[in-house]
Structure 1
Amino acid sequence: MSRMPNLVLAEAMRRADCSNKGLASRVQLVAQEEGVILRCTHVDVKRWLEGVQPRPATAKFIAEALSRKAGVRFSLEDIGMGGVLTPTTLERGLEYADAVPEVGSRLLGLTRRDLVDDPLAVEAAVVPSAWTQPLLTWLLSRPEPLPAGNGMQVNVGESDVRAVRMTTQLFMKLDFQFGGGHARAALAQYYVRDVSPLLEGKFTESVGRELFSAAAEVAQLLGWTAYDLGRHGLAQRYMIQALRLAQAAGDRMLGGRLLGNMSHQANYLGNFQQAIQLARAAQEGSKGVASGTTMASFLAMEARAHAGNGDDAACSQALREAEKLFESRNVADDPEWISYFDDAELAGEGAHCFRDLRKPLIAQEFVGRCLELTDPVYARTLAFIRLVQAATYVHQGEPCQAAVLATEAVELAGSLKSMRYLRYVSDLCTDLKEYRGNREVESFRELVSGKYPSIA
């Protein structure tokens, strides 16, 4: 039976700048201090790296040896020897940490298990009640001092923060173009290898604030891509921890964005009241600091939640407010991460709202505007809006046109890696069931059956 390589141990050794032979001798030394005669060579280290699990006592010696060498504390989990992720550790991901250093530890635990597709992490359940504490704590938070790094690993400067932000933007573009499943492992690895060590470094107050904000952006994208990939419990945990980093950074606008993302996910999962609360908290907590564009996006999330809840009046009001703010916005006030929220994106939100409210003619007006303005490079956005358009024709009792549009959407989607997209396709197939026998509908169903057997 083949074993999985212990990539977590390899990463810990890299961070500690420790070779196989070096670790072997250090482990022996730690064991001797504990009164244990332990024969350990580079061959044993090689076997550990290949996935062989040592005895519990030896694992503790390894963690202690690496901790001393690196100047930071490594737990058994930090060296890949804590066993599979426990439910207790998963629960910690749902908690809003009192101390900022706890956030870094939790995010490392999530990313490491994410990287090896740990079933307990991948299949973790969403806990709707877990959104409440972060929402309230963030709303009532006050400025706080940043943790003092030990400075033993790296001195962090403005250029390091710029590099993190630029790299995050690259991953964000890949997400928009190819879906959350594309290059996601590389994003998680980037956080583990490049971002996390910076949080333990030495920095000035101003650089530290920017660093924690940039790290929160990375964690936000990890959460968003997990959501798009259907890993909802993992996504919820990433976003909660990202919100805590944004709070530490004093970045209220980014905190609002994270609550907006939580609202988006809650709405998608059918938790409409919580989606409304999260979107409103995003607005209230970032008043006076959020740009017109970001505030419009928060209002759009509220509108989407009202639409899911079947409240036409509240949806229309929130959408009107979003449009008014968007029309008067000053793009110079916008952070880089909101650049995706343009006229096409706002029109797309309107299309989703009126699709959910079963007002197909109004929805089609928004669809037309969105299709006209969307850059063809954004395959996921175009696939979503085409499928929304197809749904509006089903609602009008025009299955032929719906099937034709849906066929175009599936063909244009290509190798899009998005479970949200697949749900749109699945939902449309369900809507079209009553029209079985129709030539265009059957042709669409055959296309879906061949391309996506699991949802046909």
Structure 2
Amino acid sequence: MAEANTALAELITEAGMSWAGLAKRVNDLGADEGEAFRYDYTAVGRWVKQGQKPRGITPILLCRILSGRLGRTIQPSDIGMEGMESLAARGLRYSPDAETTLDTIRDLGAAYVNGAFNAPFIMAALAAPSRDWLLAAFEEVNSDRGPRAIGMHQVAGIRDMFSLFQELDVMRGGGHARAALVSYMNSTVIPLIRRQHEPDVQAALYDAAAEQAYLIGWMAYDDGEHGLAQRYLIQALRLSQAAENRVLGAHVLAGMSDQANLLGHTYEAVALARAGLHGITPHDSAACYADLSILEARALSSLGDASAATKALTRAENTFGTIDHDNEPEWARFIDRAYFFGEAANCFRDLKQPAEIDRFAALSIRECQEQRRARRGSLSQAAVAMAHIQRNDIEAAASRAKVVVQLTASVNSSRSLEAVSDLQRSLKPYSSVPEVQDFNRDASNLLGLVA
């Protein structure tokens, strides 16, 4: 016999809502998310009396409605619908069905916007998606759909939005406009992609959706929301397969490798970068191949394997020199001198080679200053500060660290904030030095504001 959902019933009563009124609010909010719900009081009755659990984003919308009425945060577990745990698991799955992937992306977005998603980064989930993507890439390497229709206004509009949000991420940090991109993805991109289209248009839409899912994941990563980022990146990888775009899939694997390395999963970071390298060639995209190579070098540097890291870095630098950005996709635009030489500087930071840090960081910083890129500038300036610490030139390190604080204050990026925290930890033994005290005051003010 079905059990009544007393928790939901009590909260509806406390909120002073009728079943019909609650159903109408769910329908209205669903429409904002691109869903054509047709709930009425009988549906709510089934949820309450029979304990039925609606699928998709409905539990999230119920929590949002009740939270607003009651003036406190209501979670799915509070209404007897512990659906978020299953969403957290579903987000880690590389589904054989692209439609299921779209459902997962939509539900992740709704959960994020409504403040109802909180799941950890799961290291064990990294292997299967990269394996499945690589197998699919080998199967599709000889596939030829012919040239795609170009100039499709729907796809062009989505790509224009991608360019706008990527620019905001590069210049202002991942926490700046992510909620707006999630809303656009759920309200515009996913409903559009579900319509009937010609095969070339459908593939192009999957391609554009994969780019945006990747960008949301990258922005979440930069903002320190690693569980959410991991799930978006896995779903973006699956959409790149639906679009039969191996290069974009390799780009997603680069992002996954970068995140894994940052979180200390260095062996997994190497494996993810190498999976991407096995899936493409430099002729497919020199920018992507160079990026995967430099990220392989980053992870190997974290492991302290100087020989293998230098080999990967040499391959990366040679490939980087062949990039023709006019023939690269829009998302590859950031793989430029500011980014590439900054990553190289971080390799040598981990290998404790200060002269090489200075050489590559200087190239990155010059580009960052010309482009006014504060986030990348803060990371490259932090590398120079670490080079000074490695030389035991503490006054110079503290002076450079103050520049990192100034740049970080102008962006919304947890990676830049972490760079400030790393410098504080590294300079802690020198806390009696006046220049270090000045830096610590500035850093404490900054970190206190965002705590």
TM-score > 0.5 by shorter chain: yes
2:387 to 392, 403, 426: 392
Q: Distance in 2 between matches of 1:370 and 1:281?
A: 27
User: After superposition, what is the alpha-carbon deviation per residue over 1:217-276, rounded to whole angstroms, capped at 9, x for unaligned?
Assistant: 111011111111111111111100110000010000000000000000011011111101
Q: Distance in 1 between matches of 2:444 and 2:82?
A: 36
Contact 1:426 1:455 in 2 (8 A): no
2:277 alignment counterpart? 283
1:133 paired with 2:128, answer yes
1:420 paired with 2:415, answer yes
What are the within-5 Å matches in structure 2 for residues 202-221 of structure 1? Answer: 202-221=196-215
Give the aligned residue type for 1:10. Answer: D
TM-score, normalised relative to structure 2: 0.83
SS at match of 2:448: coil
CA-atom RMSD in angstroms: 2.9
1:432 alignment counterpart? 427
**Aligned-residue offset at 1:376:** 3.8
1:179 paired with 2:173, answer yes
Q: Distance in 2 between matches of 1:356 and 1:416?
A: 25
> Gaps spanning 5+ residues in structure 2: where?
1-13, 17-21, 64-75, 142-149
Give the aligned residue type for 2:153. Answer: S
2:47 alignment counterpart? 57
1:160 to 148, 154, 158: 154
Residues 1:319 and 1:74: Cα distance change in structure 2 (over 3 Å):
closer
1:382 paired with 2:377, answer yes
**Aligned-residue offset at 1:436:** 1.1
1:310 alignment counterpart? 304
Q: Distance in 2 between matches of 1:12 and 1:289?
A: 45
Q: Distance in 2 between matches of 1:164 and 1:189?
A: 13
Residues 1:62 and 1:171: Cα distance change in structure 2 (over 3 Å):
farther
Give the percent of matched residue pairs that are identical in Structure 1 and Structure 2. 33
1:373 to 367, 371, 378: 367
1:76 alignment counterpart? 58
User: After superposition, what is the alpha-carbon deviation per residue over 1:31-63, rounded to whole angstroms, capped at 9, x for unaligned?
Assistant: 4xx9xxxxxxxxxxxxxxxxxxx5553799999
Contact 1:253 1:289 in 2 (8 A): no
Q: Distance in 2 between matches of 1:210 and 1:100?
A: 14
1:249 alignment counterpart? 243
SS at match of 1:140: helix
Give the aligned residue type for 1:439. Answer: P
Give the aligned residue type for 1:13. Answer: A
Give the aligned residue type for 1:358. Answer: K
User: After superposition, what is the alpha-carbon deviation per residue over 1:327-347, rounded to whole angstroms, capped at 9, x for unaligned?
Assistant: 123333311110111122211
SS at match of 1:432: helix
1:89 to 87, 95, 115: 87
Give the aligned residue type for 2:288. Answer: T
2:329 alignment counterpart? 335
Contact 1:376 1:382 in 2 (8 A): no
Contact 1:293 1:338 in 2 (8 A): yes
Q: Distance in 1 between matches of 2:49 and 2:448?
A: 44
Deviates more, 1:249-258 or 1:313-322: 313-322
Contact 1:387 1:424 in 2 (8 A): yes
Q: Distance in 2 between matches of 1:327 and 1:186?
A: 36
Q: Distance in 2 between matches of 1:300 and 1:311?
A: 14
Contact 2:374 2:410 in 1 (8 A): no
Give the aligned residue type for 1:453. Answer: G
What are the within-5 Å matches in structure 2 for residues 431-450 of structure 1? Answer: 431-450=426-445
**Aligned-residue offset at 1:75:** 6.5
**Aligned-residue offset at 1:414:** 2.8
SS at match of 1:171: helix
Residues 1:167 and 1:294: Cα distance change in structure 2 (over 3 Å):
same
Contact 1:59 1:76 in 2 (8 A): no
Q: Distance in 2 between matches of 1:2 and 1:398?
A: 62
User: After superposition, what is the alpha-carbon deviation per residue over 1:106-163, rounded to whole angstroms, capped at 9, x for unaligned?
Assistant: 1111111111222xx23x111111111111111111349xxxxxxxxxxx98211111
Give the aligned residue type for 2:106. Answer: L
Q: Distance in 1 between matches of 2:176 and 2:26?
A: 22
SS at match of 1:453: helix
Contact 1:12 1:78 in 2 (8 A): no
1:269 alignment counterpart? 263
SS at match of 1:182: coil
1:297 paired with 2:297, answer no
2:99 to 73, 96, 101: 101
User: After superposition, what is the alpha-carbon deviation per residue over 1:282-337, rounded to whole angstroms, capped at 9, x for unaligned?
Assistant: 11112376211221111011111111111111111111111111212333331111
Q: Distance in 1 between matches of 2:429 and 2:60?
A: 53
Contact 2:408 2:417 in 1 (8 A): no
1:197 to 191, 200, 221: 191
Q: Distance in 2 between matches of 1:224 and 1:450?
A: 27
Residues 1:136 and 1:439: Cα distance change in structure 2 (over 3 Å):
same
2:30 alignment counterpart? 12
**Aligned-residue offset at 1:27:** 2.3
Contact 1:223 1:239 in 2 (8 A): yes
